[in-house]
């Protein structure tokens, strides 16, 4: 029997795996994905059951501690999170250093990174209590920071959190309330947003989570690690796809233009891909996309805008692509981002807020994975190897002889 671990330890095995398509970098008991079946489990619970019956803060507890909470545990967790929803008052000045028109993701990368300057009493990664405080602070403050980034970008005053509201309702309040008017959270929107948060809460070793783990493997503090995750998430191949997808659907505009875009996506030289389509792991329906599609129908129906042209384009695009040999043979299905933008748009969020909402929802997954890694005594610094393809050894030439 080939002892891979022994060979590896002796340096005899070396794998070349660009993009880590078949390399596991860690053991984890948080999230399970079966890409062929299109199955996603958080701590063993199917995502569709959680989306139907649970709520985001309960899912946060589950991901962080491994079990669904009792009523008393939930009340205690909720109290701990709401206690930390405000940000340090000095952080308001920090925001004002950014250009007015900066993308909220750019602001978030900076502000979350700066949390280690404001909350350095929870940056000692070797202290389990400090790790716990940092986790709660991040889950509690990310919605506040995202909402502040939004308010700043539209030139409106920041809104303090309301701790008598649930997690999603509070976020809607911080984004849409203005001091001169009464703002009442629409429960339909709040429920739909909470579901979006649950669906995005964790997704095992995706690019941003792997970034968080890699940053954390050096002993970097949790705020720095989450800021690294946010920076990675921003890319259009990852979390930025929800913004890119809605922009694409709007650009298509009407169903008669879909064939033109399908043809572009199939042409490798066009550099164009169907945003919200395809996934590294799912080679079947993304189970989150199924829930998201139902949610889009429900929310737009309840809001009385079910004839929304973007939703019509999305459904027709999905139908045509799923009958097209190019997409079928490559097992390209709609992913979680395909319908989420339509719901967020109906709620009144500009496209620039789509990825920040993904970031605040994924924060619990990042922090649960980071905690799991730090607590693992076998954890090592992440250090990928390379295949060197550069020049062989050569001698330095003085500039006069080059
Ligand atoms: N549109 C058209 N063709 C596609 C698409 C797409 N969206 N996605 C993949 N393909 C094609 C590729 O051209 C390639 O074709 P080939 O085999 O003939 O060369 C084949 O499908 C496989 O594509 P890869 O890029 O090798 O797949 P990979 O697993 O590396 O990429 C990714 C996955 C990045 C998600 C890709 O499907 C993509 O770019 N999708 C669009 C962006 C997107 O929606 N991202 C969100 C992902 S979900 C998330 O982060 C929450």
Give the model confidence (pLDDT) of 306-341 as tens digits: 888 999 999 999 999 999 999 999 999 999 989 999
* pLDDT confidence of residue 178: 95
* pLDDT confidence of residue 14: 76
Give the model confidence (pLDDT) of 145-165 as tens digits: 999 999 999 999 999 999 999
Q: What's the CA-to-centroid distance between 218 and ligand 1, angstroms?
A: 31
Position with higher pLDDT, 6 vs 387 = 387
* pLDDT confidence of residue 258: 97
Q: What's the CA-to-centroid distance between 221 and ligand 1, angstroms?
A: 33
Q: What's the CA-to-centroid distance between 16 and ligand 1, angstroms?
A: 21
Q: What's the CA-to-centroid distance between 333 and ligand 1, angstroms?
A: 10
Nearest atom in ligand 1 to the alpha carbon of residue 19 is: 30
Q: What's the CA-to-centroid distance between 244 and ligand 1, angstroms?
A: 14
Catalytic-labelled residue, pool 279, 376, 395, 401: 279
Measured by CA distance, the residue closest to atom 25 of ligand 1 is 280
At 388, the pLDDT band (50, 70, 90 cuts) reads confident
pTM value is: 0.91
Measured by CA distance, the residue closest to atom 22 of ligand 1 is 330
Active site residue 55: no
In the block, tokens 């970031």 appear at 359
At 10, the pLDDT band (50, 70, 90 cuts) reads confident
Whole-angstrom distance, CA of residue 14 vs CA of residue 185 = 55
What number is the average pLDDT over the span 64-82?
98
Measured by CA distance, the residue closest to atom 31 of ligand 1 is 280
At 245, the pLDDT band (50, 70, 90 cuts) reads very high
Q: Count CB-CB contacts under 10 A for residue 265.
A: 21
Active site residue 337: yes
Q: Which among 396, 373, 290 is positioned nearest to 52, based on CA atoms?
A: 290
Q: What's the CA-to-centroid distance between 277 and ligand 1, angstroms?
A: 7
- Among 248, 278, 289, 320, the mutation site with the greatest number of ligand 1 atoms within 8 A of its Cβ is 278
Catalytic-labelled residue, pool 337, 345, 376, 398: 337
Pocket of ligand 1 (CB under 6 A): 19, 237-239, 241, 265, 273-280, 330, 332, 335-337
Neighbour order of strands in the sheet with 45-46: 31-34, 39-42, 45-46
pLDDT over 70 at 4, yes or no: no
Nearest atom in ligand 1 to the alpha carbon of residue 238 is: 50
Measured by CA distance, the residue closest to atom 21 of ligand 1 is 330
Please report the ipTM that was assigned to this predicted complex: 0.95
Give the model confidence (pLDDT) of 27-72 as tens digits: 999 999 999 999 999 999 999 999 999 999 999 999 999 999 999 9
* pLDDT confidence of residue 8: 67
pLDDT over 80 at 6, yes or no: no
Measured by CA distance, the residue closest to atom 24 of ligand 1 is 280
């Amino acid at each position: 029997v080939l002892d891979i671990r022994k060979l590896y330890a002796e340096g005899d095995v070396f794998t070349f795996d660009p993009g880590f398509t078949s390399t596991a970098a860690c053991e984890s008991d948080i999230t399970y994905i079966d890409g062929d079946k299109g199955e996603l489990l958080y701590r063993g619970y199917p995502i569709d059951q959680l989306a139907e019956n649970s709520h985001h803060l309960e899912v946060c507890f589950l991901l962080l501690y491994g079990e669904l909470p009792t009523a008393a545990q939930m009340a205690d967790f909720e109290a701990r999170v709401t206690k930390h929803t405000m940000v340090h008052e000095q952080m308001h000045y920090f925001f004002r250093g950014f250009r007015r028109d900066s993308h909220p993701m750019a602001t978030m990368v900076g502000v979350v990174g700066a949390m280690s300057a404001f909350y350095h009493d929870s940056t000692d990664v070797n202290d389990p209590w400090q790790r716990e405080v940092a986790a709660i602070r991040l889950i509690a403050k990310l919605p506040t920071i995202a909402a502040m980034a939004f308010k700043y970008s539209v030139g409106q005053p920041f809104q303090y959190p309301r701790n008598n509201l649930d997690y999603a309702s509070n976020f809607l309040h911080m984004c849409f309330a203005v001091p001169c008017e009464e703002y009442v959270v629409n429960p339909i929107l709040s429920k739909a947003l909470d579901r979006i948060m649950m669906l995005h809460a964790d997704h095992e070793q995706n690019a941003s989570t792997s970034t968080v783990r890699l940053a954390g493997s050096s002993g970097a503090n949790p705020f720095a690690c989450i800021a690294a995750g946010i920076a990675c998430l921003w890319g259009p191949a990852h979390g930025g796809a929800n913004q890119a997808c809605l922009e694409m659907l709007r650009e298509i505009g009407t169903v008669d233009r879909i064939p033109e875009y399908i043809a572009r996506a199939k042409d490798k030289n066009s550099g164009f891909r169907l945003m919200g389509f395809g996934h590294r792991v799912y080679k079947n329906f993304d189970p989150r996309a199924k829930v998201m599609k139902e949610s889009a129908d429900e929310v737009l129906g309840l809001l009385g805008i079910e004839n929304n042209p973007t939703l019509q384009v999305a459904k027709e695009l999905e139908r045509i692509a799923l009958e097209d040999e190019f997409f079928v043979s490559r097992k390209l299905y709609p992913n979680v981002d395909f319908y989420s933008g339509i719901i967020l748009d109906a709620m009144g969020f500009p496209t620039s807020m789509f990825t920040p909402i993904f970031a605040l929802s994924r924060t619990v997954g990042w922090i649960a994975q980071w905690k799991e890694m730090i607590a693992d005594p076998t954890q090592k610094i992440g250090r990928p190897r390379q295949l060197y393809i550069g020049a062989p050894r050569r001698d330095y030439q003085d500039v006069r002889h080059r």
